């Protein structure tokens, strides 16, 4: 039996009401110095579901992999890599949406001076933002838990294909399975049985793990420090598409609030950071497109 991590949050007390007025966001962006903190909600319009939204993976009873489970069970690792083999092919077909492109336009104009993302899909970089702090890592890279060697995910994909020639037929039967925010898909046990993992090629025996922060794992302290530095220098912290349920993102909202830096949140549904922020409840793609139209010269 897999145990669901404690990942939910229910609003308590009276939270400030949300608005549908973008004027505060427009004013902040015009002033410049905005640092963006983005979550899974920014990628939903690219076809990647979030965890907690109306169509989120938690509503489909998806239980994400935890660090403790991955490191403690060979079966769990086989299940993850089998599911990831199918999931990454679907994820590779996703492209940046209008929200990603809007953030890139604002960064290119110098109005957004830092981007922190909780997403592991690489779509913000694909939209053209070069300096993105990937708070939870990236699915495009794999690391060895024993020797620390890193390799790109495409290289591992080739090795896993060679080690599992029969998996293509299995994968074909589940091609329509919906990809989860963590880059895998839910597969039945009989589709995972017999899947073979491969060791690290650098040390010969090490366990390979995607270079992402699993639930139950700590964000590397140097990454947290880089984010804190960005927030320290921000004139406004703009949160996009995150419920801020987990502390890894919420701590930066608290940091901004403690230093009296304004916090603006654009998210559909209440967030754990609402008591320290002004929240605008609008679909992200259109909202950010409107912000760009009101802040950048039109050519």
Q: pLDDT (tens digit, 0 to 9) for every residue of the chain, 299 residues total?
A: 344 444 566 677 777 889 999 999 999 999 999 999 999 999 999 988 765 445 444 444 456 789 999 999 999 999 899 888 877 776 777 899 999 999 999 999 999 999 999 999 999 999 999 999 999 999 999 999 999 999 999 999 999 999 998 887 776 676 556 666 666 676 777 777 888 999 999 999 999 999 999 988 999 999 999 999 999 999 999 999 999 998 999 999 999 999 999 999 999 999 999 999 999 999 999 999 999 999 998 75
Q: Is position 229 annotated in a ligand binding site?
A: no
Tell me if 102 sits within 8 A of 240, measured CB to CB.
Answer: no
Q: Is position 203 annotated in a ligand binding site?
A: yes
pTM (two decimals): 0.88
- Residues with a catalytic annotation lie at 136
Tell me if 28 sits within 8 A of 264, measured CB to CB.
Answer: yes
Q: Is position 227 annotated in a ligand binding site?
A: no
Angstrom distance (rounded) from CA 3 to CA 299: 53
Ramachandran category for residue 278: left, alpha or beta (phi over 0 → left; psi -120 to 50 → alpha):
beta
Distance of alpha carbon 232 from its chain centroid, rounded?
Answer: 22
Tell me if 205 sits within 8 A of 132, measured CB to CB.
Answer: no
Tell me if 227 sits within 8 A of 133, measured CB to CB.
Answer: yes
Q: What is the DSSP string of 110-179?
A: TSEEEEEE---S-HHHHTT---EEETTEEEEEEEETTT--EEEHHHHHHHHHHH-TTHHHHHHHTTTPPB
Q: Is position 284 annotated in a ligand binding site?
A: yes
Task: List, in order, residues 6 or more apart from 52 with CB less than 8 Å away.
Answer: 7, 8, 58, 243, 245, 269
CATH code reported for the domain at 17-48+96-136+219-299: 3.40.50.1220
Q: Is position 268 annotated in a ligand binding site?
A: yes
Angstrom distance (rounded) from CA 280 to CA 17: 9
Q: What stretch(es) of the chain map to CATH 3.40.50.1220?
A: 17-48+96-136+219-299
């Amino acid at each position: 039996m897999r145990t669901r991590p404690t990942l939910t949050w229910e609003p308590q007390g009276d939270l400030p009401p949300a608005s549908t007025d973008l004027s505060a966001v427009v004013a902040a962006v015009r002033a410049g110095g905005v640092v963006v903190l983005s979550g899974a909600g920014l990628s939903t319009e690219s076809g990647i579901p979030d965890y907690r939204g109306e169509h989120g993976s938690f509503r489909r009873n998806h239980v994400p992999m935890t660090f403790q489970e991955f490191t403690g069970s060979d079966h769990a690792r086989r299940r993850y890599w089998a599911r990831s083999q199918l999931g990454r092919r679907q994820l590779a077909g996703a492209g940046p949406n209008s929200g990603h492109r809007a953030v890139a336009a604002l960064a290119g104009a110098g109005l957004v001076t830092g981007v922190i993302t909780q997403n592991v899909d690489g779509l913000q970089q694909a939209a053209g933002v070069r300096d993105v702090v990937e708070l939870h890592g990236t699915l495009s890279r794999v690391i060895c838990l024993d020797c620390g060697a890193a390799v790109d995910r495409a290289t591992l994909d080739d090795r896993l294909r060679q080690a599992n020639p029969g998996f293509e037929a299995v994968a074909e039967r589940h091609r329509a399975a919906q990809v989860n925010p963590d880059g895998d898909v839910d597969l039945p046990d009989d589709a995972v049985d017999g899947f073979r993992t491969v060791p690290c090629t650098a040390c010969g025996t090490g366990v390979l793990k995607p270079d992402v922060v699993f639930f139950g794992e700590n964000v590397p302290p140097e990454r947290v420090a880089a984010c804190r530095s960005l927030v320290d220098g921000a004139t406004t912290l703009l949160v996009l598409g995150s419920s801020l349920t987990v502390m890894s993102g919420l701590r930066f909202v608290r940091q901004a609030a403690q230093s009296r830096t304004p916090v603006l949140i654009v998210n559909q549904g209440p967030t754990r950071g609402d008591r320290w922020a002004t929240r605008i409840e609008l679909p992200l793609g259109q909202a950010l497109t409107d912000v760009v139209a009101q802040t950048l010269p039109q050519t």
